[in-house]
């Protein structure tokens, strides 16, 4: 059987694994998994936010997200509370300790991003963005999305 070549998906999958491995050490220093570190970084930029947003952004099952959030609550890195706008909605926010951890992880992400950027030309960045837009457009119908975000 002829081996199928994936010119986009295999490199993206490999890069995702390499990024997770690269961040495993800094995340371990904070006492979190790479997925939890990613959530802390996200909350630092976009929090507080409803759990529904976290589910949408991270594409996790509710049970997985609930377990991850509970571990972060237990470590004192995030807190859950009612939304002032809608008492039925639960907001997740970073605690002071979570902000400190998120800032340290964010510095590692900024360093990684700068290191990657230093190795490529601007036209490469534009090509990368074009590929990412193509992936988004190609997967939107499968994901049942009606509009681009």
Domain boundaries, the chain: 27-140
Which residues, listed in sequence order, are joined to residue 92 by a DSSP beta bridge?
49, 80
The H-or-E segment that residue 72 falls in is helix 62-74
Query: Tens-digit pLDDT profile for the chain (149 aa)?
Result: 556 678 898 999 999 999 989 999 999 999 999 899 999 999 999 999 999 899 989 888 999 999 999 999 999 999 999 878 877 788 999 999 999 999 999 999 999 999 999 999 999 999 999 999 999 899 886 555 444 44
Instruction: Count how many residues are written for the chain.
Output: 149
CA distances from 5 to 13, 20, 104, 109, 149 (A): 13, 24, 38, 30, 29
Q: How many helices (H) and strands (E) does the chain have?
A: 6, 3
For the stretch 93-98, contacts whose Cβ atoms lie closer than 8 Å and that sit 24 or more positions apart, written own/partner, are 93/43, 93/47, 93/48, 94/40, 94/43, 94/44, 94/47, 94/48, 98/40, 98/43, 98/72
Model-wide pTM > 0.85: no
The CATH code of domain 27-140 reads: 1.10.10.10
């Amino acid at each position: 059987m002829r081996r199928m070549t994936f010119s986009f998906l295999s490199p993206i999958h490999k890069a995702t694994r390499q990024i997770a491995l690269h961040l495993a050490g800094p995340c371990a220093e904070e006492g979190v998994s790479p997925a939890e570190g990613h959530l802390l970084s996200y909350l630092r930029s976009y929090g507080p936010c409803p759990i529904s947003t976290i589910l949408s952004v991270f594409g996790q099952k509710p049970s997985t997200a609930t377990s991850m959030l509970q571990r972060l609550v237990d470590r004192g890195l995030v807190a859950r509370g009612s939304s002032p706008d809608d008492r039925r909605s639960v907001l997740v926010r970073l605690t002071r300790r979570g902000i400190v951890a998120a800032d340290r992880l964010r510095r590692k992400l900024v360093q990684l991003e700068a290191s990657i950027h230093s190795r490529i030309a601007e036209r490469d960045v534009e090509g990368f963005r074009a590929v990412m837009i193509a992936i988004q457009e190609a997967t939107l119908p499968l994901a049942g999305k009606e509009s681009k975000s």
